[in-house]
């Protein structure tokens, strides 16, 4: 049985240890030459450093409760604080918690909840000063506690398991050499590396803007002016993307706005990218998939004036 098949067999078994599955996947990634996939597996196994982006499935909602009091002893205890107020007075980072802990720590949280039903609490003491007189008019904020639903950790487990399965199925379908990788001296074709890179990026992060972190790391000088279609097309052509494809993309992005600063493409542009990036992987563009992804994202950021 190949390494790929061993991973598939293990990941569909209920209760299988994700840690050991990830170790096998890391070995497979190394043999297939995908530094992006290796990095993802490493982060899932050891935890995400502070300077690393976390996938969207690791960003969880936080709920807050507080204690408030007013002169002469009137008080409100264990009152739920609307997320809108938290976001307004403290910023969105307080309402969206990035779970950077290793998958082993996530597993432990799931087990702990199963045994004692406890939620995961976060330190919210800094919010006390920010919420004075902001939740209830005239009331002082005496205490704030934040918690994450235990279901969020179960969902992280399932997201990792689902991505591993989807990834191995797609590798089996699209990268013929992957099925032949086994323990020993077997090494997949080097030509498969970029295809593995593309598949990994799309399945794990689900969008091209975040996925550029796993690119080749090359420095790209972007000469695109804000809302200037001509400079956008010229830059893409100079980077190795055919003029016909560059013109198609700029027509799309000119008619829609990006989803966010972190996601510099609208839905139609993302659909176009999903259909056309395979040209880079197949070699019909004059640029590889990793660099093409970065070129397109940086150009979109410049076009929309986001960078």
DSSP per-residue letters across 185-209: S----GGGHHHHHHHHHHHHHSSHH
| Average pLDDT value over all residues in the chain | 84
Residues of the chain with pLDDT > 70, as a percent, come to 90
- Cβ atoms of 277 and 208 within 8 Å: the answer is yes
d(CA 247, CA 233) in angstroms, rounded, equals 6
Which residue, 168, 233, 232, is CA-closest to 200? 168
Give the number of other Cβ atoms within 10 Å of residue 275's Cβ.
Answer: 9
pLDDT at 182: 77
- Cβ atoms of 201 and 273 within 8 Å: the answer is no
- Cβ atoms of 233 and 250 within 8 Å: the answer is yes
d(CA 90, CA 111) in angstroms, rounded, equals 32
- Cβ atoms of 298 and 307 within 8 Å: the answer is yes
- Cβ atoms of 303 and 228 within 8 Å: the answer is yes
Q: For the segment 219-241, what is each residue's pLDDT rounded down to a tens digit?
A: 445 678 889 999 999 989 888 89
- Cβ atoms of 198 and 215 within 8 Å: the answer is no
- Return averaged pLDDT per consecutive 10 residues of the chain, 307 residues in all: 89 86 91 86 93 87 92 86 92 90 91 77 89 89 91 91 90 82 61 73 61 40 82 88 93 89 84 83 73 84 87
Predicted structure pTM score: 0.63
pLDDT at 290: 67
What the block records as the tokens of 109 is: 């949280």
The residue behind tokens 């799931």 is 110
* Domain residue ranges of the chain, discontinuous segments joined by +: 3-48+155-190, 56-154, 229-303
User: Where do the DSSP E strands lie in the chain?
Assistant: 59-61, 63-69, 75-81, 96-98, 120-122, 140-148
39 CB-near residues (< 8 Å, 6+ apart):
214
The total number of residues written for the chain in this structure: 307
């Amino acid at each position: 049985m190949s390494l790929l098949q061993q991973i598939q067999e293990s990941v569909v078994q209920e209760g299988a240890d994700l840690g050991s599955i990830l170790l096998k996947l890391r070995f497979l990634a190394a043999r297939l030459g995908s530094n992006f996939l290796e990095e993802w597996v490493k982060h899932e196994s050891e935890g995400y450093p502070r300077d690393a982006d976390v996938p969207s499935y690791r960003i969880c909602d936080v709920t807050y409760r507080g204690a408030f009091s007013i002169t002469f002893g009137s008080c409100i205890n264990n009152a739920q604080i609307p997320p809108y107020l938290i976001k307004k007075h403290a910023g969105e980072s307080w309402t969206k918690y990035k779970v950077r802990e290793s998958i082993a720590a996530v597993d432990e949280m799931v087990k702990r909840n199963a045994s004692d039903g406890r939620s995961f609490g976060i330190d919210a003491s800094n919010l006390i000063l920010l919420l004075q007189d902001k939740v209830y008019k005239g009331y002082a904020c005496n205490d704030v506690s934040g918690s994450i639903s235990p279901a969020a950790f179960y969902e992280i487990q399932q997201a990792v398991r689902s991505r591993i399965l989807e990834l191995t199925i797609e590798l089996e379908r699209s990268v013929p050499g992957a099925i032949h990788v086994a323990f020993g001296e077997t090494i997949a074709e080097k030509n498969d590396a970029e295809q593995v890179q593309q598949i990994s990026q799309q399945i794990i992060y689900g969008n091209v803007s975040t996925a550029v972190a796993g690119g080749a790391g090359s420095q790209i000088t972007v000469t695109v002016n804000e809302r200037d279609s001509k400079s956008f097309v010229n830059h893409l052509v100079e980077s190795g993307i055919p003029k016909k494809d560059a013109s198609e993309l700029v027509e799309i992005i000119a008619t829609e706005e990006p989803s966010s600063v972190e996601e510099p493409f609208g839905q139609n542009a993302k659909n176009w990218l999903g259909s056309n990036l395979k040209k880079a992987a197949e070699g019909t563009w004059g640029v590889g998939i990793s660099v093409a992804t970065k070129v397109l994202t940086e150009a979109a950021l410049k076009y929309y004036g986001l960078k």
